[in-house]
Structure 1
Amino acid sequence: MSRRRPLARLPLAALALLPVLAISACGLLGSEEEADLQVYSARHYDLEEAFAGFTEDTGLTVQFLHGDDDELLERLKAEGEDTPADVFMTVDAGMLWNAAEQGQLAPVDSPALEAAVPEDLRDPEGRWAGLAMRARTVMYNPDAVDPSELDAADTYAGLADPKWEGRLCMRDETASYTQSLVASLIDLHGRERAQEIVEGWVANDVEVMSNDIELLEAIDAGGCDVGITNHYYLARLLEEDPDFNVEPYWASQEGDGVHVNISGAGVVAASDSKADAQRLVEWLATDGQNAFVDANHEFPVNPQVEPEPLIAGFGEFERMPVDAAAYGSLNAEAVEVLDAAGYR
């Protein structure tokens, strides 16, 4: 059945309250056609192949509206019951938790998701599910660093050791990746210890960069020796250049494990196509897992699905459990910790 509400419908008064950012509409249909399902997506990575497979399998067409996590959540709230969105897709567990807590996602009863997605990667009330995992771990230049220099028990805290002074690169404080990592440190160690760790990074004259690719290129070029990035950015660079001189170090394998975040989705509470929206989320976690994660070199959430060969070559690792509630509820504290440390 065709959607009755067009993608762009939004009251002008509400639209005026939203930030003027780069939201773009795209999809598998012509611009004048209406899709069966509308996805608000903060995920920008090779969606077309996965959604084309869903359409082929089910006959349901899909269209996307791309934007930042916060921006899309605010849009959902402004649109209210008039939203054309059926699925909200984001790249941070804390944002999924926030969307659910603010009443924007509908609980679903899904044995398929319960079977396909580990318990800590989905909402206990069924309002969202993780679909792809990204490991945020330590990267290093093998010409400058012996892995034995890295703290195997608590690698993230170990980068606060003075031996890394002038050798450390990290992401900027506005990145959700940075904020969720610090939120996880607060959850693990308490705010006081997390503050000490971040202050240690700053004391090491950390070079803060605006994206993970720039950070990895700096490590490769010798501008810094170690840093923290999502694993798939390294995979992208290695795919282009197998001689790219950066290697991953799976953090804290003798401790709490690698910090992992998720890209995931939930059914929009105001959707009038909830059953089909649920069907899409379930498909992405099952039959569509490889199509959804492989092109961006992410790890599947479904333990029955093998990772693509390049990242499988990075080796197996133990991960921290994902605590979406902590990532979401401690986000403001994480920002305060970063600000107090002068991390910028």
Structure 2
Amino acid sequence: MKKLLLASVFAASTFSPVLMAAEEVNVYSYRQPFLVEPMLKEFTKETGIKVNVKFAKDGLAEKLVQEGEYSPADVVLTVDISRLAELTDKDVVQAVNSDVINGNIPAQYRDKEGEWFGVTTRARAVYSSKDRVGKLPASFDYMDLAKPEYKGKICTRPGKHPYNVSLVSAMIAHHGEADTKQWLEGLKANLARKPQGSDRGQVQAIKEGLCDYSLGNSYYFGQMINDKEQKAWADAVYINFPGQEAFGTHVNISGMAMAKYAPNKDNALKLMEFLSGDVAQKMYAEDNFESPVKPGVAPSELVASWGEYKADTLSLDEIAAHHEAAVKLLDEVKFDL
């Protein structure tokens, strides 16, 4: 009874009875409003289906578990394979079999069971100081970050942030747990400060001379370039794509899934198909500086100016399979302490 009351209160506070009409779709989103609202508005313009959104920084999977079959959620938008895997692990999403979506999204970027789909890709880049380091050579690899010559020169956000957990998971897939643990120990020894802040905060630290290198997602570079207050940070660094002579640059995704008890299932499918199509994919590319998952949709001119790179072809399913091992290794080396 308590669970039912909590779910009812949440539903009432999030989506009013007026909004719970026939032609609507309810979205739970980890993605920031300015990143997804343009696409959702375009979807409404094209279909007449109203999109109601609840934005959150964390806790959506737990919220869906709590709400159970009384959840108003139809579609979940999130970032990183680790968070998509969490949704499947908690059994709060359902499989979707759509010829449209499967035709738009390559198999590498969707769950083999159809429970989640990538919408955009982003590279886990390495930023380097223009003044003190310069552009890194094509031979530069993530493994190099553990070399002694980088001691005291690297900044990163916490290791247990989903973006870094996924990178560590990929390292385990390629190198095994023992070598990855050794790499993490070397990387920790080379940090200029305790892991903290955001990806953009690490670039700011490079600008301020606190470190010479940082890990960060590629789309943040575009966001900083287009932010008056942060452009100076971006101007102080080069963006580099590691692994070009090895496995390639680690690539992750933002993604979508259909909620397990979606009350507006048909509209949810229409929205997911729209997000995988040309219009939304182009908008993601131009507005968010992420790369489209749909083949044939070009990145923005700014993203293209950073140069082409070889992306790691490791499947996201395999990366997700090493998530627990990655967290365990980060704990063992006390990376964030």
Fold-level similarity (TM above 0.5): yes
Task: Tell me the percent identity.
Answer: 32
2:214 partner letter: G
Letter in 2 for 1:263: S
CA distance in 2, matches of 1:113, 1:322: 21
Q: In structure 2, what is the equivalent of residue 159 of structure 1?
A: 145
Alignment partner of 1:237 out of 224, 233, 238: 224
Aligned to 1:325: 317
Aligned letter for 1:80? Answer: G
2:192–2:211: 8 Å Cα contact kept in structure 1?
A: no
Residue 273 of structure 2, aligned match among 259, 273, 282 = 282
Alignment correspondent of 1:225? 212
Distance 2:48 2:207 in 1: 46
Q: Residue 63 of structure 1 is aligned with which of 52, 77, 81?
A: 52
Instruction: Name the residue aligned to 1:179.
Output: 165
Q: How far apart are residue 223 of structure 1 and its match?
A: 1.5
Give 1:248's match in structure 2, choosing from 239, 242, 261. Answer: 239
> What residue is the counterpart of 1:310 in the other structure?
302
Can you list the C-alpha shifts for 1:119-168, whole angstroms capped at 9, x where unaligned?
A: 110112222210011111111012111445x5726x11101001111111
CA apart distance, 1:232: 1.2
- State which of 30, 48, 55 in structure 1 corresponds to 2:37: 48
TM-score by length of 1: 0.87
Q: Which consecutive aligned stretches of 4+ in structure 1 deviate over 6 angstroms post-superposition?
A: none
- CA offset at residue 255 of structure 1? 0.8
Counterpart of 2:93 in 1: which secondary structure? coil
Q: 1:42, 1:91 within 8 Å by CA — same for their partners in 2?
A: yes
CA distance in 2, matches of 1:67, 1:110: 28
Deviations 1:224-281 (CA, angstroms, capped at 9, x unpaired): 1111100111111112356621111111011111111111101112112222111101
Q: Does 1:96 align with 2:84?
A: yes
Superposition map of 1:1-344 within 5 A: 11-12=4-5, 33-34=19-20, 36-44=24-32, 45-69=34-58, 71-148=59-136, 152=139, 155-207=141-193, 208-240=195-227, 244-286=235-277, 287-344=279-336
Deviation at 1:188, TM superposition (A): 1.2
RMSD: 2.5
Q: How many angstroms does 1:296 deviate by? A: 1.9
Asked whether the 8 Å contact 1:121–1:322 carries over to 2, the reply is: no
In the alignment, residue 93 of structure 1 is paired with which amino acid? Answer: I
* Alpha-carbon spacing, 1:276–1:329, altered in 2? closer, same or farther (3 Å): same
State the shift of 1:212 in Å: 0.9
Stretches of structure 2 that go unaligned for 5 or more consecutive residues are none
1-structure distance, mates of 2:8, 2:286: 35
TM-score, normalised via structure 2 length: 0.89
Distance 1:245 1:146, change over 3 A: closer
- Give SS of 1:96's match: helix
2:192 touches 2:210 (CA, 8 Å); kept in 1?
no
Separation in 2, partners of 1:31, 1:249: 50
Unpaired runs of 5+ in structure 1? 1-9, 19-23
